[in-house]
Amino acid sequence: MSTPFLPFGLPDIGEDEIAEVVDTLRSGWITTGPKARRFEQDFAAFLGDASLQAIAVNSATAGLHLALEALGVGPGDEVITTTHTFTATAEVVRYLGADVKLVDIDAATLNIDPVAVEAVIGARTKAIVPVHYGGLAADMPRLLATAARHGLKVVEDAAHALPTTLGGALVGTLASDAAVFSFYANKTITTGEGGMLVTRDAALAERARVMRLHGMSRDAFDRFVAKVPSWYYEIVAPGFKYNLTDIAAALGIHQLKKARAFQQRRAAIAARYDAAFAALPLVLPPRPAAGDTHAWHLYAVRLADEAVARGLTRERFIERLFEQGVGASVHYIPLHLQPYWRDRYALEPAMFPASQRAYERIASLPIYTRMSEADVERVVGAVRAALG
């Protein structure tokens, strides 16, 4: 029998999560209710900052949309973000009728380039959305200083960044207006689909909660568990359907308890890869500063000049991995190459040289907690063979 295919990623769901979901199903309350509130409270406690509020949503995309809407982004405004991201980071800006200004990345970190951000700030600029690529924190001190000088809002796309730290502080506790985490199936912790918006801004939190559920002044849990009749509600804005269900939150409650252990396992796999690949013609992912934590959502390698000079393409590299039964992916096809963004803003690869070069050479390798030591060694062997 041939060796089973090793996928790029798998969630790590245990018996505690399963039991909590079953309890939810038996409780009769399966939409947003007590489990979602508990998850929000637990998440805020995990971040360890009593001034923060956490708002559970059905995706990080929803969280980014809610945060920017609450900050007043709208037609005529412009929001700066990186081209080297998934489209969700930028598309929420267009939901609001505002425009996106894409900028290049730092070639070493693959995070948004603060110098490029500074260069494109103009009269229409309203906010910056940095992405913590792969789980490595962006240069937030510099970005926050730039935002403060120009009176701009900052919403962190922290989809990859649990539990990333910067200067010893967890992402989510920095001085931005809001941070948004993802609990998609391949993230450090998962609720299947889901996300969390965190903020210190009470007005932003209140607006996000209202807009999360149709612009309704009171959610269903408030209305249906009261001891006196409380059916009355008001629609105060044309909101959205972005609430997280208790079924999903039940997963999150126990996944969150494992977040640090999950990160440590990912970090151990990354360290093994670093050691195994050190002498190979690859550019390895950057490490965080001493004392800080990388979430290791991604382990993205880039073909070095030596490999490219021998005629190896990124496409062939990934094909060779698949031929050996090892999955891989690409993070990301930059937005400047995607038809909608390219055509709307007349973008060309030459405008984003660092992102373009990274894209042409990058591949993400499997890194997830369900990998055994044998799985890790299998990836190591497949990479060596793929490089010839």
pLDDT band of 222, cuts 50, 70, 90: low
pLDDT tens digit sequence for 21-76: 999 999 999 999 999 999 999 999 999 999 999 999 999 999 999 999 999 999 99
Q: Is the pLDDT of residue 1 over 50?
A: no
For the chain, where do the domains classified as CATH 3.90.1150.10 start and end?
259-386
Q: What dotted CATH number matches 259-386? A: 3.90.1150.10
pLDDT of 44 reads 98
Q: Is the pLDDT of residue 284 over 50?
A: yes
Q: Is the dihedral of CA 366, 369, 375, 376 positive or negative?
A: positive
pLDDT of 214 reads 96
pLDDT band of 223, cuts 50, 70, 90: low
CB neighbour list of residue 274: distance below 8 Å, 6 or more residues apart: 284
For the chain, where do the domains classified as CATH 3.40.640.10 start and end?
15-257
pLDDT tens digit sequence for 317-338: 999 999 999 999 999 999 999 9
pLDDT of 228 reads 58
Active site residues: 187
Average pLDDT taken over every residue of the chain: 96
Q: Is the pLDDT of residue 360 over 50?
A: yes
Q: Is the pLDDT of residue 235 over 50?
A: yes
Instruction: Report, as an integer, the average pLDDT of 153-167.
Output: 98
Q: Is the pLDDT of residue 343 over 90?
A: yes
Instruction: Report, as an integer, the average pLDDT of 284-301.
Output: 98
- CATH match of 15-257 with 3.30.70.20: no
